[in-house]
Structure 1
Amino acid sequence: MTDVAAAPLRILHLEDSDLDAELIEAELDRLGLRVRIGRVMDRDAFAVEACPGRHDLILADYVLPTFDGISALGIAREQCPDIPFVFCSGTLGEDVAVEALKNGAVDYVTKQRLDRLPRTVLRALAEARARDEKRAAEAALQALNRTLEARVEERTRELADANNALQAQIVERERVEEALRLAQRLEAVGQLTSGVAHDFNNLLTVIAGNIEFLGREVSSERGQRRLGMMKGAAERGANLTAQLLAFSRRQRLEPTPVSLNRTVASMRDLLQSSIGGAVRIETTLQAGLWPALVDATQIELVILNLAINARDAMAVGGLLTIETANVAVTGRPTRPEQPQPGDYVMVSVSDTGSGMPPEVLARAFEPFFTTKEVGKGSGLGLAQVYGFVKQSGGGIRIDTVPGEGTSIKVYLPRVDGDDADAPPASAPADCARTHPPGSKPALLVVDDDAGVREVTATRLVEAGYGVREAASGLQALAALEADPCVDLVVVDFAMPGMNGADTAAEIRKRWPQVPVLFVTGYADTAALTQVGAVGVDSIVQKPFQDGELERKVASTLAARPIAQLRLVSGRDRSA
């Protein structure tokens, strides 16, 4: 083996995918060593390069167009058996992996877990070095035994010391690996407790808010005492969720005739800001598109969800295409998610990403199934889309080619009637007339939890404000489109789909004169500060403490500059 401390680490890499080779080389950079990689893509080139002493390590894909990893392993075992051989493949099942190890591979890494690659490489090199050292020691010992039997005892002791050192290394490696497994388990538990704590804070907000409301109506001392006990229990629950956070981090539809062309067009800016500039968006909208019978807000969430999934499938950017069409389905469905025969309005979201292999496609709609890294996805996105579309009377079809991309087509029931493409007239909103001086300040409360939203709205109404409500970020944007005369938006930070940070960013871009106050059940406010929540006065913790919500709303409104009377249009939002 080459001394990796003095010379570059020489790696022979058998890989036909340029993208995978680039990703693997990026992971190898994390070794902190000088690395020289010789890449080959076919049998002949591999056979020429697989020579003793030419490389320190062989990395090989399992499936190639005209070659396979097992054959490569056979060549390496015959030509250079001392060079450690590691598989790095995205298709290596457990049975194949076991067979590969039996045939002489020292380890394997899946391309879905490339973060294991540096550690695997270092371990393979260390084991090979230890094996070489042991072989050299044994050879030297045999030579000395032939010539100087007097030194047998001394050399045996040196060999025993080397063996003890190797055993110590093995024990240390096992300790480090066990520590890593524990850290991963703690990370998973932390993610779980973070979500549980958020949900419990929503529940406690409802409980604490209603206790406060009841306290104004109950006059008996005994009733007040019981309410006090309940309030204390709620506060202890809040403390418990705070400790959890310190340790870590079915739906009602309102189908209406919707123009999917107009929906897609109105979401263009939102989609671009959500998926980033590395992905180009193209739209193909069919003229004369039938109106779809669907919940307008939910279909926006579906399109946004699919667009974000498409972005995640394109690791280095690409093209995202959104298409609408009138479709007559005649064939019977072959999978449960596909539509029944009939007329549908179709909207599809296509990407040029990695695509799905058959085994992933077979489980794509299973709840909690995800191919993303831990913490990168819940596995509920496509499951939620499936539930919404089937509840709406439609269906879904996935067309995918591994390595080329995926197209997800959503089929929605059509509405008989006139074309819904013509946009309605957009009358300007005269805020000076609809909201004259001296009237109640108008607030928009945004929270996906209906109970928390009701408590928040009730407190603010009782404090003398005019309150409108929205159950999602997209509903909030639609409400502001319909009537932008709002003095303050009170938005929950953690919401599914479009969260509070996304909502606030879009509001600041479209209606910069409208301030935003964040409500959160999370203890760590660093993420809120990063999205523009300046200071604690811009953040209200759940469950609400006595008067905190009302005080910070009043403070935010008082700090807002007095605006001149203005005419605000749904399309021209200049102040």
Structure 2
Amino acid sequence: MIGPSAGPLRILHLEDSDLDAELIEAELETLGHPFAIERVMTRDAFAAAAMPGRHDLILADYVLPTFDGVSALGIARAQCPDTPFIFCSGTLGEEVAVEALKNGATDYVTKQRLDRMPRTIVRALAEARARHEKAAAQTALNALNETLELRIEQRTRELAEANADLKREIGERERAEDALRLSQRLEAVGQLTSGVAHDFNNLLTVIAGNIEFLERAVSDDRSKRRLAMIKGAAQRGANLTAQLLAFSRRQRLEPTPVGLNQTVASMRDLLQSSIGGAVRIETALQTDLWPALVDATQIELVILNLAINARDAMAVGGTLAIETANVMVTGPQTRPEHPQPGEYVMVSVSDTGTGMKPEVLSRVFEPFFTTKEVGKGSGLGLAQVFGFVKQSGGGIRIDTVLGEGTSIKVYLPRVRDDGAVTPVASPPVDCAISHPPGSKPVVLVVDDDGDVREVTTTRLAEAGYVVREAASGLQALASLDADPCVDLVVLDFAMPGMNGAEAAIEIHKRWPATPVLFVTGYADTTALMRAGAVGADGFVQKPFRDGELERKVAAALSVRSSAGLRLVSDRTRT
């Protein structure tokens, strides 16, 4: 094969001499390959014939009457640059030939040496074919590179998608493993605390029982005072074990149908006094809320506990939002505190506080874990909430963002019977049975400072009163819930968590016949008056002056006695 095509060699011949044309044609016969010559002699004819792909070779004379080879070369380079161009002239000098080659000619042959024509043509065609094959190979390579880039891009995308899927699977597995570890840790701690609380309650039973026996046998006041201190410590131990039992889901619950909207509405004043006037309370209560099957007293303590925690998370001011809703939980449980799929009554407490860090969120339900200062929290609040909610058959979900706030959603089982919720009244407690006329008055001392509380209880015990103790407002409420037969509450005004004013409001609400005497270190009595202290006899200033505490306690009890009041608890649960 000489030309690019399998047919005759197609030649465009620019020649004005018939004799030279015949001689060149005769020389081409020696190629041994068929050929077809298209001969032209003018510029216009050459320009019309020199088209891409029309010829395999161009032979051109250098000098023509009305045209010249250099111009023909320019036309060929412009119109069909891939077609080999060979000069064949009798007047072509060496310098002219070199210049022609520089301008793009493939080769040249003088008419005096036409015998060189076949070899020149074969070489020119071979070079043209090589250039064509190279160009085709480059085109194919470019196409391959383009498709390769596409394939690489596609494969990279597939690998990225597979990697993302793998990362999601690893993340889901890690979350599942974290949830399993947390569940196992909480379960182990729950079993441990349950066992400790059970054994500790047995010890407290022995201690408390023997204290009662000793109280009957001991006659001197000093020994009685020591027994009262032991009895108070036993009571504090009992309160602590109650919190531990709540976390381990071993506390005694009395689930009844409860309307959470009524519960939240009835607690509004208590919540406002507990969190302070600087925090705004907002409520969003669903109108057609299902009744929840839950212990009425415990859910009140849960809401109060969450509200106080929310207040502590907000440095100054802020908003506390309480919401109720009917919720259908779908999807698998991803954390041990989350609710199982099903229908729940949800109550949420949200704040605009500091939020929680991930490391805090992962441990927030562990007992004794707290981020508050020493003495400001026991670390049992959320653990107690967790235990109560899980024992009730519900769940908790915490949504928190650092610097923006936290929302704690409590999911409680709904009552399947759609009947209306009716108030459940606690049976009246006649204190004349447990404290008959002539018995010593019972005084409940509430103070978060153990040393101060010991001084207060010692002085009151020495004055002849039966003294009970509580280290916080919530403990005082729990103590009164357990035994409301108290003649007077001596209440510290400044306490962490629920302060004295908040506790007094709740005591007046639940047990309106029980008087409260405030103990305070504040010189300004305005806040005391707002909290319910009546005149100077309504509070005792710290440090105690000689006989002031005993005198004001006796005065408060004499007012109560003269009014003929005897505590009867008729608290109503909703």
TM-score range for the pair, normalised by the shorter chain length: 0.3 to 0.5
Give me the TM-score of the superposition, normalised by structure 2.
0.42
Q: Which has the larger radius of gyration?
A: 2
Give me the TM-score of the superposition, normalised by structure 1.
0.42
